[in-house]
Amino acid sequence: MPYSQIGFLVPLNNNSEEDDSIPKLPILEGVNVFGRDNISVSDKRVSRKHISLKASVDGSVEVVVEGSNPVVIRAGDQRKKLYSKDKATIAHGNILELIPGHHVFKYVTSAGAKDTSSPQTHKRSLKEGGKLNEDEIQAKKKRQIAEDEAFARNLQAELANNSTVQERSLVVEGSENSQSHRGTCPASHEVLEAEAIRQFSVHKNRQPLTFRLLQVKGLPPWANSNSVSISDVIQGNVLVAILSNYMVDIDWLISACPAIRKIPHVLIIHGEGDGTLDHLKVKPANWILHKPPLPISYGTHHSKAMLLVYPRGVRIIVHTANLINVDWNNKSQGLWMQDFPWKDQKDVKKGHEFENDLIDYLSVLKWPEFSVNLPDIGNATINSSFFKKFDYSSAAVRLIASVPGYHMGPKLKKWGHMKLRTVLQESYFDKEFQKSPLVYQFSSLGSLDEKWMAELASSMSAGFSDDKTPLGLGQPLIIWPSVEDVRCSLEGYAAGNAIPSPQKNVEKDFLKKYWAKWKATHTGRSRAMPHIKTYTRYSGQKIAWFLLTSANLSKAAWGALQKNNSQLMIRSYELGVLFLPSSTKQHGYLFSCTDNGGSSEVICGSSQNAGGHRRELVTLCWRGNQSMDSSSEVIPLPIPYELPPQPYSSEDVPWSWDRRYSKKDVYGQVWPRQVKLYVSQDS
């Protein structure tokens, strides 16, 4: 007896329309096996036996993943990722991605597929020419909608219940020869909210309250949800641009952001050494280069920021990426920005804590002043004092900066970890953060000792609970990529160039208790090695405070106390933004320098002690009820790694870039390689 045809897998193009260039795949009653041998794809990530579909006469189909790589099922707005041997049931109209984001098919029941009604009912439903009458068509639609809704509810329930999600590196399945030239990467098993960044969406008037991840090439579209590129940041009618960074590739910068050529005045504040200055010599004639003074040996200018002056105001950007191609395309990075209007003339002398911190920092850079002619302003001298002309009263963050020097007296608490300690001591947090843990996450490790780690933890643990009790000392973990993380990353061992820490710093015995894994399943960035630097205190998926910064874990960056704690010695320039659970006096950060439809007024200020709505900071995996307490506003932060961090196992080895690794990476390479893109530095 021949098998009944149940339906088809219909190939879809990038516009989710039927792709006529690829044949439909018929699905017969019983078990159907699909893979590279019977699907018109050459992609070796698709196994020869990739999925099996067990089709029933009622039109339902059970999907089983037979190959090594995951498959995605979509039903409406819901997505479910299946891994090897996982099963799920699909219904008419559901979408299959044979590789996440690639090789997309739609399941469609055939016109002859049987439904669950009796044979007599089925016969009655057929009219002349095999057509259904209108009532039966509507009944069928309702039945299908009910099936789809049930499927979507099941997916949502699985995610809400923290169903096991396993992120696995895509394994290339091919000939023995190809396997011998490429390393294979083991699967990892994690329990986390799947693809949580897909739901990350913040209204534009709340965006200064959070930060954004940079886009990463090679990731599925969902992983770049609400992420930004450099052209999203440098846009509009910029009159003056000050770009602060460590490494700068002008050729790349102009090609990645052609709009920058139109900016009349550009100042590049950089940290390049004498041996790497050649590629800066290609600068346009109207660009000025400046390397700030470094009074203490082994320091660097490491801050990453942009100040863009517009006819309507200034845009302040603080981020973690060097101005080079790999940093803006291949790595996990973060960026914060906010626009501020010009001050009213009567308020020119009126300051704000954000303004004071900014001007103090800019004044130390000592760039060569230059004159510009600005619309409605006239002639202006661009120096640190120029930036007092803007109204920072709506600032959503605090600045935490480091500048080189021996800081004492009133300057002791002005920079580095002592500045962070001071700001936290002025802040109040929920009681649940008492003695809660800390996370240090960065991309370069200095030469550390236990005494200094205790000094830093004391600053990171500062602050009080709402009842004015000190939060108490938090136990830190260090999130740091393992050798396997680097080997199996999007770049392979080449990613290790941007994690430039030697064995002598990494393999100190006292550090072993701190190591935790880089795991970023929920943001799709487990294989995008981190160049982002973050420090935070957390409880579950709630965040007490969060710092996005250029500062790595080193004395050079954060400073070290000397002379019986009366002096702080810092070698390098660093800059970061601190997110706090401040109260917001009003509701909105609507001012924009580039959005012509936006408000030209600032309608929000913030204060730790002001009345109004309190901000609660949470991760993307937080699943609380935002409507329970109307006195608080929940702000999601796209922290790329999972919390709580997972400590290293006995088999994990922390990455150090001066060791030899003979096990081949995903590109068939070993380490070291000859080309190095980064200069080793402790800050």
Q: Where are the beta strands (DSSP E) in 301-427?
A: 305-309, 313-319, 334-341, 370-374, 378-382, 398-402, 405-408
Nearest to 68 by CA among 51, 54, 53: 51
Give the rounded distance of the alpha carbon of 373 from its chain centre.
Answer: 38
Tell me the C-alpha distance between 423 and 417, whole Å.
10
Catalytic residue from among 302, 319, 407, 522: 302
Residue 54: φ, ψ to 5°: -100, 105
> What tokens were used for 534?
């973050």
For residue 302, indicate whether it is catalytic. Answer: yes
CB 200 within 8 A of CB 620: yes
* C-beta neighbour count of 1 within 10 angstroms: 3
Residue 674 contacts by C-beta under 8 Å, 6 or more apart in sequence? none
The answer for residues whose C-beta is within 8 angstroms of residue 134's C-beta and 6 or more apart is none
The whole-angstrom distance between residue 318's C-alpha and the CA centroid of its chain comes to 14
153-155-159-160 Cα dihedral, nearest 10 degrees: 10
CA 565, distance to chain mean position in Å, is: 36
- The answer to whether 415 and 559 are in contact (CB under 8 A) is yes
Of the candidates 670, 448, 402, the one whose C-alpha atom is nearest the C-alpha of residue 559 is 402
Q: What would the two tokens of residue 392 be? A: 């920072």
State the Cα–Cα distance between residues 247 and 301, nearest whole angstrom: 9
* Token reading at 606: 């913030």
3-state secondary structure of 254: helix
Rounded CA gap, 347 and 471, in Å? 38
Dihedral sign computed on CA atoms, order 667, 673, 676, 682: positive
Instruction: Please state, as a whole number, how many other Cβ atoms lie within 10 Å of the Cβ of residue 106.
Output: 21
How much is the CA Rg of the chain, to the nearest whole Å?
28
* 8 Å CB contact between 339 and 265: no
Are 24 and 9 spatial neighbours (Cβ–Cβ below 8 Å)? Answer: yes
Q: Which residues contact 158 (CB under 8 A, 6 or more apart)?
A: 80
The one-letter amino acid at 29: E
d(C-alpha 68, C-alpha 197), whole Å: 24
Pairing of strands 438-441, 476-479: parallel
The β-bridge partners of 634 are: 616
Cα 139 off chain centre by? 45
Catalytic residues: 302, 531
